């Protein structure tokens, strides 16, 4: 494993056991203070636990960034049966933080999920792990078995009267199942087709019961929040975005890996200091900042804080366009422009000389492969994007192909049940906005 620890004084929460192969064992985890927070939580009222997490300003770490405590509060108080589902279907290209976190420290997820389940009054947790992660599924299953033996799971958890079951459910190779309603259909034994919202899962989710779906990293912060307090956690981050967050850096950097950083750290500094800078002599050329669905940045645009707000608003990042001069309407409230976002925390760095047209074409083939086929604009549109973008990348492009790509992408966006359509359209338009000349040159020389 090549996870590298950033040398710094940054507080480590989710990555505190990186480098310690014994942390996977429950005795070590307990010795390091593990399961203390669960014991504390089950002695609190359910709503007090939710309040503490609200105070922490813990935002979801899966990509959408919704405040976790607020989400937990959506479960109807009179619900008879509630489920917690852990989204461990990590599949966004460039993203590998959750599998790394669980690989080192599985009990932190078990404990975080147990606390969350108690908070929302759930007796059942399903951990939906992507099918390809055989090793991590085994690690997690062993951890859960140990937790049952030590009575942190089962009937009367951590000395309380609360009962809790936890089950690992393996996916079977479908990116779309990372979308929460698709994940729920998959958990129920159906095709992973996203559902219309509303009803939201908190009202009607798994098996038609109120369900909270949380990302792995999100839940791994919960034991520390209970231990040190929501206010302490909130203080570590920025306004309305508490704590630290993990980034997964890959591509042409010296030290690719998973690192825990303060929310709002400068993106250029993350690449230079945490990722060790570029691996060769070539400078940064392009950066996908938050997983393959987020609009690409050029080297001039990376001197920005790595936070949702800064990357949505910073004038340093050029807004995404459909055509030069025509801003893209992503359907945001108030007509806000689309710049970029830290998304899933996956930073893919490309050096000068990278064939960005080929990279874009590869991403479009990915989305075409992973479209679930339910909505026509996405099913047909992603296929067309893949076909046209690939022919441009291979030097077979036709006059008008650049506008055609923009037109198709704009035609998919905001017209589908789930965000996969947008997840394909945004990077397509992002690459065209930032590297239009390269696409045009490829066609001219075709």
Partner 1 sequence: MPLTFSSESQNRIKKILGRYPNKMAACLPLLYVAQEEFGHVSTEAMDLVAETLELPPSHVYGVATFYTMFNKKKVGKYHIQACTNVSCMLCGAYDVLGRLERKLGIKAGETTKDGLFTLSEVECLAYCGTAPAVQVNEEIHELVSPDKVDDLIETLKTQG
Residue 125 CB, nearest approach to partner 1 (Å): 11
Please give the structure tokens belonging to residue 415: 């017209």
Binds partner 1 (CB under 8 A): choice among 26, 125, 249, 406: 249
Q: Interface with partner 1 includes 248 (CB under 8 A)?
A: yes
Q: Interface with partner 1 includes 366 (CB under 8 A)?
A: yes
Q: Interface with partner 1 includes 399 (CB under 8 A)?
A: no
Q: Interface with partner 1 includes 178 (CB under 8 A)?
A: no
Burial of 52 (0-12, 13-18, 19+ CB in 10 A): buried
Number of residues that bind partner 1 (CB under 8 A): 58
Residue of 35, 52, 190 lying closest to 119 (CA atoms): 52
Residue 221 CB, nearest approach to partner 1 (Å): 20
Residue 132 CB, nearest approach to partner 1 (Å): 6
The Cα–Cα gap between 17 and 29 comes to: 9
Burial of 377 (0-12, 13-18, 19+ CB in 10 A): middle
Residue 347 CB, nearest approach to partner 1 (Å): 10
Binds partner 1 (CB under 8 A): choice among 67, 69, 73, 192: 192
SS3 call for 82: coil
The Cα–Cα gap between 132 and 60 comes to: 23
Q: Interface with partner 1 includes 52 (CB under 8 A)?
A: no
Please give the structure tokens belonging to residue 348: 């893919």
Distant-in-sequence, close-in-space partners of 190: CB < 8 Å, separation ≥ 6: none
Residue 121 CB, nearest approach to partner 1 (Å): 17
Q: Interface with partner 1 includes 175 (CB under 8 A)?
A: yes
Residue of 19, 41, 15, 29 lying closest to 146 (CA atoms): 29
Q: Interface with partner 1 includes 146 (CB under 8 A)?
A: no
Stretch that binds partner 1, among 69-77, 140-148, 190-198, 428-436 (CB under 8 A): 190-198
Stretch that binds partner 1, among 108-116, 185-193, 315-323, 380-388 (CB under 8 A): 185-193
Q: Interface with partner 1 includes 132 (CB under 8 A)?
A: yes
Q: Interface with partner 1 includes 191 (CB under 8 A)?
A: yes
Burial of 101 (0-12, 13-18, 19+ CB in 10 A): buried
> How far lies 274's CA from each of 143, 248, 267, 281, 434, in Å?
30, 10, 10, 18, 25
Residue of 271, 280, 273, 266 lying closest to 250 (CA atoms): 271
Q: Binders of partner 1 among 79-108, rule CB under 8 A?
A: 90-96, 98-100
Residue of 143, 138, 133 lying closest to 95 (CA atoms): 133
Residue 134 CB, nearest approach to partner 1 (Å): 4
Burial of 202 (0-12, 13-18, 19+ CB in 10 A): buried
Q: Interface with partner 1 includes 164 (CB under 8 A)?
A: no
Residues that bind partner 1 (CB under 8 A): 1-3, 90-96, 98-100, 130-135, 165, 167, 169-175, 186-192, 207, 248-252, 256-258, 288, 292, 346, 348, 350, 354, 358-359, 362-363, 366, 369-370, 372
């Amino acid at each position: 494993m090549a996870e590298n620890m950033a040398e710094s004084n940054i507080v480590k929460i989710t990555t505190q056991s990186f480098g310690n192969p014994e942390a996977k064992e429950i005795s070590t985890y307990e010795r390091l203070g593990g399961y203390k927070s669960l014991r504390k939580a089950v002695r609190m009222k359910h709503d007090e636990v939710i309040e503490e997490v609200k105070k922490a300003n813990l935002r979801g770490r899966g990509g959408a960034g919704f405040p976790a405590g607020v989400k937990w509060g959506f479960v109807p108080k009179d619900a008879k049966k509630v489920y917690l589902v852990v989204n461990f279907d990590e599949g966004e290209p460039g993203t590998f933080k959750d599998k790394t976190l669980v690989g080192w420290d599985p009990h932190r997820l078990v404990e975080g999920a147990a606390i969350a389940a108690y908070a929302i009054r759930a007796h059942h947790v399903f951990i939906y792990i992507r099918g390809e992660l055989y090793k991590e599924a085994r690690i997690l299953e062993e951890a859960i078995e140990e937790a049952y033996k030590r009575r942190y799971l089962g009937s009367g958890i951590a000395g309380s009267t609360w009962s809790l079951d936890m089950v690992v459910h393996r996916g079977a190779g479908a990116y779309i199942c990372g979308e929460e309603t698709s994940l729920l259909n998959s958990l129920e034994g159906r095709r992973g087709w996203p559902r219309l919202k509303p009803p939201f899962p908190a009202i009607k989710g798994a098996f038609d019961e109120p369900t909270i779906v949380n990302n792995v990293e999100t839940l791994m912060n919960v034991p520390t929040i209970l231990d040190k307090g929501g206010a302490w956690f909130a203080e570590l981050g920025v306004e309305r975005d508490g704590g630290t967050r993990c980034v997964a850096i890959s591509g042409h950097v010296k030290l690719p890996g998973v690192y825990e950083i303060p929310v709002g750290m400068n993106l250029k500094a993350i690449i230079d200091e945490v990722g060790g800078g570029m691996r060769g002599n070539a400078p940064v050329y392009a950066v996908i900042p938050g997983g393959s669905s987020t609009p690409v940045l050029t080297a001039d645009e990376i001197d920005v804080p790595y936070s949702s707000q800064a990357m949505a608003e910073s004038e340093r990042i050029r807004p995404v366009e459909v055509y030069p001069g025509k801003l893209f309407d992503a359907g945001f409230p108030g007509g806000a422009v689309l710049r970029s976002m830290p998304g899933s925390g996956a930073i893919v760095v490309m050096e000068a000389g990278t064939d960005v047209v080929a990279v874009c074409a590869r991403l479009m083939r990915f989305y075409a492969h992973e479209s679930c086929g339910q909505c026509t604009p996405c099913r047909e549109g992603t296929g067309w994007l893949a076909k046209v973008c690939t022919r441009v990348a291979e030097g077979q492009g036709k006059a008008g192909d650049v506008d055609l790509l923009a037109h198709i992408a704009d035609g998919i966006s905001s017209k589908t049940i789930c965000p996969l359509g947008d997840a394909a359209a945004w990077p397509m338009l992002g690459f065209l906005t930032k590297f239009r000349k390269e696409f045009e040159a490829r066609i001219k020389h075709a």
